[in-house]
Every structure is written in C-alpha cells, then in structure tokens.
Amino acid sequence: MDESKKPKAISRRKFIKGVGTGIVGTYVVPSALSAIGKEEKKGPKEDWIPISLTVNGKKVRVKVEPRMTLAELLREELELTGTKVVCNRGECGGCTVVLDGKAVYSCHILALDADGKEVLTVEGLMQGEALHPLQEAFWEKDGLQCGFCTPGQIMAAYALLKRRPRPSVEEIKEGMSGNLCRCAAYPKIIESVQAAAEKMAGRSS
C-alpha cells in the first residue's frame, strides 16, 4: 500500500486542485456561503461542488453546497420530501435513510459524504404500484398515528431486516432505538416490523 510509504511532499495547490486524490478531490469555497445555519443564504451555485451518487437506483449528478446535509440535498435539491427533518440534530431518527446498506441520520451527514455512494429513501421502496412489505405491514398493523416519524421508522427497519431477517423483539427494540415516535406508537411499530419480516421471508422462499 502506498499509504505506508514515506510522506511525499504534496503542495497545497495540488490539494486544492484535487490532483492525484482521485476520489473526490478538494473543494474551496468562500465562507459567507456556509449554510449550516439554515437562515444564512446559500452561495451562488457556481461555487457548489459536483458529486455523483445513486438515489433509489438512479444515478444522479448534482452540485452541492459544502455544508449542505444529505437531508437538504434530498429534500431541497432532489425534491424527495418523503424523508422528514424533525430535530435536525441527530436525535430523533425522522430523517433516517439507508446509505450503502446502513441506516444513517441524513440530517447529520454532509451531502458531500454521499459522493459515490448509494442512497435509499422511502420513495425508493415501492416496486411500480406495489407497496414494499414494510409499507404494507405498517399500514395493516397501524404502525403509525400521525405518520410523521414513519418514513424514518421504515428505513431503520429496512436496514435492520437486511442485517437480521428474523429479529427478536429485543433486537427490534435495539435496532430501532434511534427512532423516536412522538405519538408513542411503539408497540404497533414493533408488530409492524415483525409482520414485515414474515412477509419478506415468505416472499423470498
């Protein structure tokens, strides 16, 4: 591995141009454009950084502001508003999406970080007009009341079931402990995940 070799001199300029880094390269932007405080205006689009990622199976090339979160990219740039932003600080799970197979809080990840990766949102679950077994199960078992937390719950459950196709109640509780439900529909959410697991096992065999 070239990483273990002695450090070679790399000029700042080389970094700035992203030469030789290959992966995402390097970005320079004026700071007035910083947009973590959503009240601040985003900078002119010509300063945004191009990335490419796969969203719900489709290749997407898009320019992002350096501090834009993945949730902002999905909702504001790609108009995929199924993903909800509630606390916007990594505590409630409302914004959960699946990134390279793992559940993550999209409000808590830079859009830049999704470069080259695969994102699945609740919009990507349906096959044509057919609901995904998880969506079906949440509907049949009343796994929601107001429904605001549901897209996040479903995406967290999706990642859990990929890892553990037949989870125990304890495993569901642990796997989904990062998703809060203000309506406290928890018992029904657990039932829904169990029902979905059964449906999915039935369909794949």
Q: Among residues 26, 34, 81, 88, which is the contact residue for ligand FES, using CB under 6 A?
A: 88
Q: Does 198 engage in binding with ligand FAD (CB under 6 A)?
A: no
The listed partner (ligand FAD, ligand FES, other proteins, none) that binds 70, CB under 5 to 8 Å by sort, is none
User: Is there a contact between 43 and 68 (Cβ–Cβ < 8 Å)?
Assistant: no
Q: Does 91 engage in binding with ligand FES (CB under 6 A)?
A: yes
Q: Does 90 engage in binding with ligand FAD (CB under 6 A)?
A: yes
Q: How many CB atoms lie within 10 A of CB 168?
A: 10
Q: Does 157 engage in binding with ligand FES (CB under 6 A)?
A: no
The listed partner (ligand FES, other proteins, ligand FAD, none) that binds 10, CB under 5 to 8 Å by sort, is other proteins
105 residue type, one letter: Y
Per-residue binding string, ligand FES, 102-141, x by CB under 6 A, is ---x-xx---------------------------------
Looking at 30-38, 41-49, 92-100, 194-202, which segment touches ligand FES (CB under 6 A)? 92-100
In angstroms, the Cα distances linking 65 to 29, 40, 45 are 9, 12, 8
Please name which of 94, 87, 41, 97 lies closest in space to residue 68, comparing C-alpha atoms.
41
Helix (H) or strand (E) holding 172: helix 169-175
Dist CA 95 CA 137 (whole Å): 20
Work out whether strand 118-120 and strand 49-55 pair parallel, antiparallel, or are unpaired.
parallel
Q: Does 174 engage in binding with ligand FAD (CB under 6 A)?
A: no
